[in-house]
């Protein structure tokens, strides 16, 4: 809040501003110490000088509690300034002024509508008044500006109070100018204002043995009342002290909510302590006199207290000595300033050294764990890489929001109140209907009912196994509910907690009420993409519920999902097991690209539901469950879960007061998707059964509605007549259920031009004529634009992502995985939903973009085909996008064989019937299994079929498939005409003689007598047998044996809802690419002078991606085996002026084998390594070129299993050291190898500790460590 004069209103929290010359942040340990110290100072806004970070390493200042970072970098050895904002600070930036020389940065913006200008300065260490004049000229001139200048000015303001030295003060022009600028700019040195005659210093010069105060906060004079404190802290870590000021602003102190730290689960002492506490609690309190619900609630409270006590004791013990040093230093500093005693100075230095040592140890331990994570997971697909690709962690701070009146609210507390009011109103029931209203609505509908067996299953008691399964199903690293206990905690202590939880659940069922904490939830807000960030409705509310409540919901959801498919019409594909979203899109495409010239009017209406999940009325939901035939026990459980829930809204660190919910299915609850599908299904039934809402006839099939969760598409015939009925129907349904529509955001697309202008202007929804947006896809009326609006846009987005990713320190593996994680899912989604034929030119362009990125803009050193090999074949596995495109389309094509498939697992989707009906003189199974040569009937195919046939022909050509497969049906076959005229063939179909494959018996083409006996054919069908035999012999083969068919046909016969189907298809396509590496093998064979058999070479390739868990280690081995490094011999061939002679031995030609193995300078290095392993593992192993360079040898089998992994890692580290000294005349030393191996062993130990496999680590590495200790 601001007054008319622009002063900050005094609030409940002081904003802590810290300025500190850190004298270099290049070291990761130093950065860790600096940020730990800043956190201990409760820093909110940080001004850093001398960061010593160059422009390519700016990401080094990122950390998990900082959201905004503004820098003027310079070099890694000098200057550099930065201003950092804590995550919870709602600062909105309007402009940033950088200095290319790294001496200042100015950030202008506002906080709660209060304008602020922050200027961070690192002054020259020489007398340069011109610098300060230039910097101060950047400041705004208006009197209302609120300016905060901080930094190391390298200049004192008062020669007598600001310095302590035996030498007289020199004449300083910068000092005079600065004092003059403070007067003319109405700025003040706030510490001096608050300490007019005191002395304190921010810098100690060891050279001159003098103290000086040269670090300041200079602020606008109108801010003086808001500065409650200013202080110089101890000179630690750097040679300057941090200086802080406390700015009193209307920022509410963030609400503290305890959260369990999952890292504690790797602490054996913690596990033992909590296990003991749990057992003691149960023994003491589980005496039969305490209710199970009370026991459970009490247990959570006691556990929380025990965990807090444990962590507090750890922290107190860890920080005890640091606190003591911090308290002792000021006393010693004051004493030394007066006495100048060398003894006092020595004491100060000892304390600072000890403080730095303790801090270094603490940070090193944290960094060790971080390095282990990066060692194992770095550059691999996962959260670690995902965070890098997303860039700086986006701030969750909400800076401003609109009130109901439309005014902007900027105060964080008022923002939280506004959201609380918004959701309190949203979740307030508007339900006014009666039982007779429900009866009138539901009795007109034909709803499916649960079977008795399903009802009995859903009503059965919970079991301990179900609770255990539910607990294990929850993903890790997810936000906890209000009680703070995470899923990881439940997983670790499942054996103790699950029985108690089951007893609590059974008691709650009898009481029809859960314990109080199970009803509590926090609402976390996520801004929807492309929405107005000042509108409360633009945020998606995610309910963070307690895990014990989610366990109950998860069990109910697992049970319900098994029977949901029998209740929900195939029109609904969202959250229904076994159903696919592409069914809706394909149906939409079939509908749009149908000719409606004879229709009275065809149109499509996409409904935008307003907060669909949040407005479901509970009485309606309970009634819907009853009407679908659910039992009383299941309905009772749903009612128990939805009785008296309480929610609090989280914004900017604030947590609102809890308020009750009266409606909604909460997003974040495992049961919500299924309940929502059940709640919305009666609307779909009503629309399908309404006499005045006619759907569109597409391919002889009437299509009326498609649903994907709350995304609804309606297909309307004669909309001028049907729209009024639709509006009334939705209004009536909304009164019962709470369902409402954003009509202004709903899209109506006419497919014919007969609608009157008056009608189009009168409808409440938006009329679009060219394209419609559905499920993240742009569907144009003109099919020629599909590619441009979707795939061309994809390429533009890919290029933008790559430009951002280029700035990240990713290896080649990391760049490949960035494509896999971010771009590939979007591309696959497009291919699954939009069956359009993509050309080779498109993929060539796409590959060029991606490969250029993978090679970091440099020339490729190996062909694409080698790079794209599977990891088992020694490749790095970048996605072959054409294979993903084909696989996505094959997934849809598999549905085509449903007419001939006898193992249906899901009903045929409506789009399949539409496409089937558009085929003339053939059938979908025939088109799938035999080549479709574009006969005259091709032009009659619908758009999606035409595109699919083209794609199928691409696949046929790639796999070199025969024109006809034995899976081809005999009837409705475009390549076999007789059945179209002779209906007797249809009798064959009825008798089970369906495809050509059925004509074979025991792998041989059957005689007529064999078929007559097997299928009960009449003798009169002998001529038809001859016709079929002639067809088979001419189309397939003349001999009688059943042909061996391509594996693709087995996949095409798979059930359409098979798991991992796309992955299997992609693997099939990838396996079809033959990659020959004999030339590389022969070159190594010749250079190393060893025999490399085919089996040994295959093993060398397969070991590339199994030699280490570390991606960069694997990359080293990949590059070595594939000979990607430039030896001097190779450089000589490219640049004749370069000598081919080895720089280390100056004798031999430096080939790759020489550089890695046979150079005399490396002989001792390799011999010592092999000798070390021989003695450590008591297994003689001679230096072996194949093993050292390629990772494999003929004698590998004789190496013990416990020695294999340590040896492979040791050899990788050795080659890494050789590469580090690639251009050096000096060979790497054995001592350096030992040092690097110690670091690797640390990573391995931590990895095995976190994976609970300490025994494995001991078996592998104990001989290594023991022998190392004996050296």
| H-run or E-run covering 910 | helix 910-917
State the pairing for strand pair 147-152/654-655.
Answer: unpaired
Give me the number of domains the chain comprises. 6
pLDDT of residue 601: 82
Q: What is the DSSP letter of 968?
A: S
What is the Cα–Cα distance from 589 to 794, expressed in whole angstroms? 20
659 within some domain: yes
The answer on 787 and 772 residing in a single domain is: no
Q: Say how many CA atoms lie within 13 Å of 360 toward its Cβ.
A: 10
Percent of the chain past pLDDT 90, that is, above it, reads 47
pLDDT of residue 342: 75
Sign of the CA dihedral running 605, 610, 611, 617? negative
Q: In whole numbers, what is the pLDDT of the chain averaged over residues? A: 87
pLDDT of residue 361: 64
pLDDT of residue 143: 62
Q: What is the pLDDT averaged over residues 910-914?
A: 89
Contact by Cβ (8 Å): 578, 906? yes
- Single residue among 852, 879, 906 that ends a domain in this structure: 879
What is the Cα–Cα distance from 1147 to 1159, expressed in whole angstroms? 9
The answer on 581 and 652 residing in a single domain is: yes
In the block, which residue shows the tokens 């807090």? 308
What is the Cα–Cα distance from 1051 to 1171, expressed in whole angstroms? 52
The answer on 788 and 774 residing in a single domain is: no
500 within some domain: yes
Task: Reduce the DSSP state of residue 151 to 3 states and report it.
Answer: strand
Task: Reduce the DSSP state of residue 154 to 3 states and report it.
Answer: coil
Q: What is the pLDDT averaged over residues 524-547?
A: 88
What is the Cα–Cα distance from 742 to 535, expressed in whole angstroms? 15
- Higher-pLDDT residue of 450, 250: 450
pLDDT of residue 838: 95
pLDDT of residue 448: 94
The answer on 213 and 111 residing in a single domain is: yes
Q: Model confidence over 768-823: pLDDT tens digits? A: 999 999 999 999 999 999 999 999 999 999 999 888 888 777 888 888 888 988 89
What is the Cα–Cα distance from 665 to 55, expressed in whole angstroms? 48
Sign of the CA dihedral running 951, 955, 956, 957? positive
What is the Cα–Cα distance from 1118 to 701, expressed in whole angstroms? 55
Residues 6 or more apart in contact with residue 1133 via CB below 8 angstroms: none
The answer on 738 and 791 residing in a single domain is: no
Q: What is the DSSP letter of 896?
A: G
What is the Cα–Cα distance from 811 to 834, expressed in whole angstroms? 33
- Expressed in percent and rounded to 5, the helix, strand and coil fractions of the chain are 50, 15, 35
The answer on 1140 and 1044 residing in a single domain is: no
pLDDT of residue 5: 36
The answer on 286 and 214 residing in a single domain is: no
Say yes or no to pLDDT of 1245 above 90: no
Task: Reduce the DSSP state of residue 302 to 3 states and report it.
Answer: helix
What is the Cα–Cα distance from 1088 to 1186, expressed in whole angstroms? 8
pLDDT of residue 252: 60
17 within some domain: yes
- Higher-pLDDT residue of 663, 394: 663
What is the Cα–Cα distance from 857 to 679, expressed in whole angstroms? 53
The answer on 74 and 21 residing in a single domain is: yes
Residue 760, φ and ψ in degrees, nearest 5: -65, -30
401 within some domain: no
pLDDT of residue 749: 93
What is the Cα–Cα distance from 262 to 497, expressed in whole angstroms? 17
What is the Cα–Cα distance from 728 to 722, expressed in whole angstroms? 10
pLDDT of residue 64: 78
pLDDT of residue 2: 37
Residue 946 lies in domain? 917-1064
The answer on 328 and 316 residing in a single domain is: yes
Percent of the chain past pLDDT 70, that is, above it, reads 93
Say yes or no to pLDDT of 1219 above 70: yes
333 within some domain: yes
Q: Would you give the distance in Å from CA 905 to the centre of its chain?
A: 32
- Single residue among 754, 779, 804 that ends a domain in this structure: 779
763 within some domain: yes
Say yes or no to pLDDT of 166 above 70: no
Q: Model confidence over 300-332: pLDDT tens digits? A: 999 999 999 998 888 787 777 778 887 888 888
DSSP-assigned states of every residue in 796-862: HHHHHHHHHHTTS---HHHHHHHIIIIIHHHHHHHHHH---PPPHHHHHHHHHHHHHHHTTTSPPSS
Q: What is the pLDDT averaged over residues 520-547?
A: 89
Both structure tokens of 550: 């989610």
733 within some domain: yes
pLDDT of residue 904: 56
Cα of first residue to Cα of last residue in the chain, in angstroms, is 69
The CA-atom distances, in angstroms, between 166 and each of 160, 176, 209, 501, 529 are 11, 22, 9, 74, 64
The answer on 951 and 815 residing in a single domain is: no
Q: Model confidence over 329-362: pLDDT tens digits? A: 888 877 877 777 777 777 777 777 677 776 666 6
State the pairing for strand pair 711-717/602-607.
Answer: antiparallel
Q: Would you give the distance in Å from CA 726 to the centre of its chain?
A: 40
Cα-Cα-Cα-Cα torsion 865, 866, 871, 876, nearest 10 degrees, comes to -90
Q: Model confidence over 586-614: pLDDT tens digits? A: 999 999 998 887 777 889 999 999 999 99
Say yes or no to pLDDT of 902 above 60: no
| H-run or E-run covering 173 | helix 173-184
- Single residue among 205, 223, 249 that ends a domain in this structure: 249
Q: Model confidence over 235-255: pLDDT tens digits? A: 888 889 999 999 987 666 666
Cα-Cα-Cα-Cα torsion 275, 277, 279, 284, nearest 10 degrees, comes to 180
What is the Cα–Cα distance from 922 to 985, expressed in whole angstroms? 14
Nearest residue to 1127 via CA among 1154, 1166, 1088: 1154
In the block, which residue shows the tokens 């909309």? 719
Say yes or no to pLDDT of 655 above 50: yes
State the pairing for strand pair 13-21/243-249.
Answer: antiparallel
pLDDT of residue 936: 57
Both structure tokens of 372: 């282990």
893 within some domain: no
The answer on 1198 and 1161 residing in a single domain is: yes
Q: Model confidence over 363-403: pLDDT tens digits? A: 655 655 555 455 444 554 555 556 555 653 345 678 788 88
In the block, which residue shows the tokens 């005999």? 970
Nearest residue to 32 via CA among 44, 387, 40, 204: 40
The answer on 1225 and 1101 residing in a single domain is: yes
């Amino acid at each position: 809040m601001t007054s008319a004069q622009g002063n900050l209103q005094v609030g409940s929290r002081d904003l802590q501003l810290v300025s500190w010359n850190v004298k270099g942040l290049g070291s990761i340990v130093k950065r860790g110490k600096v940020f730990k110290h800043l956190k201990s100072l409760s820093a909110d806004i940080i001004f850093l000088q001398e960061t010593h970070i160059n422009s390519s390493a700016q990401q080094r200042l990122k950390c998990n509690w900082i959201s905004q970072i503004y820098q003027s970098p310079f070099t890694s050895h000098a200057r550099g300034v930065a201003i950092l904002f804590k995550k919870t600070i709602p600062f909105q930036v309007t402009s940033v002024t950088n200095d290319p020389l790294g001496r200042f940065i100015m950030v202008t913006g506002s906080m709660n509508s209060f304008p602020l200008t922050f200027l961070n300065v690192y002054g020259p260490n020489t007398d340069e008044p011109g610098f300060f004049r230039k910097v101060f000229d950047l400041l705004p001139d208006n009197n209302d500006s609120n300016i905060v200048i901080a930094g190391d000015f390298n200049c004192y303001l008062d020669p007598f109070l600001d310095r302590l030295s035996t030498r007289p003060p020199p004449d300083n022009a910068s000092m005079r100018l600065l004092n003059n600028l403070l007067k003319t700019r109405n700025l003040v040195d706030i510490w001096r204002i608050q300490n007019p005659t005191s002395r304190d210093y921010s810098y100690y010069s060891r050279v001159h043995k003098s103290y000086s105060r040269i670090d300041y906060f200079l602020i606008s004079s109108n801010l003086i009342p808001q500065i409650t404190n200013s202080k110089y802290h101890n000179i630690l870590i750097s040679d300057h002290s941090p200086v802080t000021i406390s700015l009193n602003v209307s920022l509410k102190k963030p609400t503290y909510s305890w959260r369990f730290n999952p890292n504690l689960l790797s602490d054996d002492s913690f596990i033992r302590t909590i296990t003991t506490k749990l057992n003691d609690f149960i023994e003491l309190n589980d005496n039969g006199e305490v209710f199970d619900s009370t026991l459970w609630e009490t247990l959570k409270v006691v556990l929380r207290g025990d965990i807090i006590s444990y962590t507090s004791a750890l922290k107190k013990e860890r920080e005890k000595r640091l606190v003591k040093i911090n308290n002792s230093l000021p006393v010693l500093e004051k004493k030394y300033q007066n006495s100048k005693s060398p003894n006092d100075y020595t004491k100060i230095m000892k304390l600072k050294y000890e403080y730095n040592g303790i801090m270094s140890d603490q940070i090193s331990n944290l960094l060790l764990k971080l390095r282990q994570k990066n060692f194992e997971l770095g550059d691999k697909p996962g959260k670690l890489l995902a965070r890098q690709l997303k860039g700086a962690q986006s701030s969750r701070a909400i800076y401003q929001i609109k009130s109901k009146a439309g005014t902007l609210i900027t105060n964080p507390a008022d923002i939280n109140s506004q959201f609380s009011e918004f959701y309190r109103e949203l979740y307030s029931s508007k339900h006014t209907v009666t039982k007779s209203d429900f009866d009138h609505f539901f009795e007109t509908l034909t709803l499916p009912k649960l079977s008795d067996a399903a009802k009995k299953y859903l009503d059965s008691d919970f079991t301990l196994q179900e609770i255990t399964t539910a607990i294990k199903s929850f993903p890790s690293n997810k936000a906890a509910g209000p009680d703070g206990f995470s899923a990881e905690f439940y997983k670790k202590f499942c054996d103790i907690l699950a029985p108690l939880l089951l007893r609590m659940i059974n008691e709650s069922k009898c009481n029809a009420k859960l314990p109080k904490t199970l009803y509590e939830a926090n609402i976390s807000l996520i801004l929807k993409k492309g929405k107005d960030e000042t509108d409360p409705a633009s945020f998606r509310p995610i309910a963070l519920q307690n895990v014990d409540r989610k366990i109950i919901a998860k069990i109910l959801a697992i049970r319900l999902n098994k029977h949901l498919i029998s209740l929900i019409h195939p029109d609904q594909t969202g959250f229904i097991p076994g159903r696919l979203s592409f069914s809706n899109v394909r149906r939409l495409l079939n509908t749009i690209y149908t000719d409606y010239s004879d229709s009275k009017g065809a149109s499509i209406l996409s409904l935008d539901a307003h907060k669909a999940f949040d407005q479901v009325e509970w009485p309606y939901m309970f009634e819907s469950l009853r009407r679908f035939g659910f039992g009383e026990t299941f309905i009772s459980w749903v009612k128990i879960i939805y009785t008296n829930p309480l929610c609090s809204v989280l914004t900017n660190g604030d947590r609102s007061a809890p308020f009750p919910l009266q409606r909604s299915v909460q997003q974040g609850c495992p049961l919500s998707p299924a309940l929502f599908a059940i709640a919305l299904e009666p609307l779909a039934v009503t629309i399908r059964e309404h006499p005045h809402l006619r759907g569109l006839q597409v391919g002889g099939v009437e299509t009326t509605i498609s649903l994907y969760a709350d995304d609804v598409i309606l297909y309307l015939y004669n909309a001028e007549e049907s729209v009024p009925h639709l509006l009334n129907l939705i209004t009536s349904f909304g009164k019962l259920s709470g369902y409402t529509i954003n009509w202004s955001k709903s899209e109506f697309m006419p497919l014919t031009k007969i609608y009157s202008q008056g009608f189009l202007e009168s409808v409440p929804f938006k009329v679009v004529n060219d394209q419609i947006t559905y499920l993240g896809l742009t569907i144009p009326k003109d099919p020629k634009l599909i590619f441009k609006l979707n795939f061309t846009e994809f390429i533009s987005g890919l290029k933008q992502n790559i430009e951002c990713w280029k700035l990240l320190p990713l290896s080649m593996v990391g760049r490949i995985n960035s494509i896999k994680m971010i771009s590939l899912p979007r591309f696959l989604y497009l291919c699954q939903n939009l069956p359009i034929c993509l050309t080779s030119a498109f993929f060539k362009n796409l590959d060029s973009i991606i490969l250029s990125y993978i090679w970091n803009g440099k020339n490729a050193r190996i062909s694409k085909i080698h790079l794209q090999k599977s990891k088992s074949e020694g490749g790095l596995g970048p996605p072959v996008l054409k294979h993903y495109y084909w696989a996505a389309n094959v997934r849809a094509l598999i549905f085509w064989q449903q007419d001939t498939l006898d193992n249906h697992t899901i009903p045929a989707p409506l789009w399949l019937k539409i496409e089937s009906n558009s085929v003339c003189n053939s059938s979908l199974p025939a088109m799938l299994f035999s080549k479709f040569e574009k006969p005259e009937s091709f032009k009659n195919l619908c758009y999606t079929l035409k595109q699919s046939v083209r794609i199928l022909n691409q696949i046929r050509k790639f796999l070199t498939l025969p024109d006809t497969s034995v899976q081809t049906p005999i009837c409705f076959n475009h390549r076999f005409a007789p059945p179209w005229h002779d209906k007797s063939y249809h009798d064959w179909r009825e008798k089970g003689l369906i495809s050509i494959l059925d004509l074979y018996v025991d792998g041989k083409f059957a005689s007529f007598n064999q078929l007559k006996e097997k299928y009960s054919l009449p003798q009169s069908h002998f001529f038809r047998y001859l016709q079929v035999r002639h067809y088979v012999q001419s189309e397939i083969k003349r001999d009688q044996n059943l042909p061996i068919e391509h594996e693709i046909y087995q996949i095409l016969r798979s059930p359409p809802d098979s798991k991992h189907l796309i992955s299997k298809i992609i693997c099939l396509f990838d396996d079809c690419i033959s990659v020959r590496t004999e030339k590389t093998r022969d070159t190594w064979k010749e250079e190393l002078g060893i025999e490399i058999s085919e089996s040994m070479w295959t093993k060398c390739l397969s070991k590339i991606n199994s030699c280490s868990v570390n991606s960069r280690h694997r990359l080293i081995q990949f590059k070595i085996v594939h000979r990607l490094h430039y030896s001097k011999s190779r450089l000589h061939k490219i640049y004749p002026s370069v000598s081919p002679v080895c720089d280390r031995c100056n004798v031999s030609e430096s080939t790759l084998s020489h550089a890695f193995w046979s150079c005399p300078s490396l002989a001792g290095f390799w011999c010592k390594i092999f000798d070390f392993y021989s003695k450590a593992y008591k297994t003689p192993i001679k230096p072996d070129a194949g093993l050292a360079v390629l990772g494999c040898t003929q004698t590998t089998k004789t190496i013990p299993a416990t020695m294999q992994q340590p040896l492979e890692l040791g050899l990788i580290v050795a080659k890494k050291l050789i590469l580090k000294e690639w251009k050096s005349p000096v060979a790497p030393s054995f001592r350096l190898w030992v040092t690097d191996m110690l670091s690797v062993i640390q990573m391995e130990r931590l990895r095995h500790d976190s994976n609970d496999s300490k025994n494995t680590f001991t078996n592998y590495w104990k001989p290594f460590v023991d022998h190392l200790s004996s050296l």
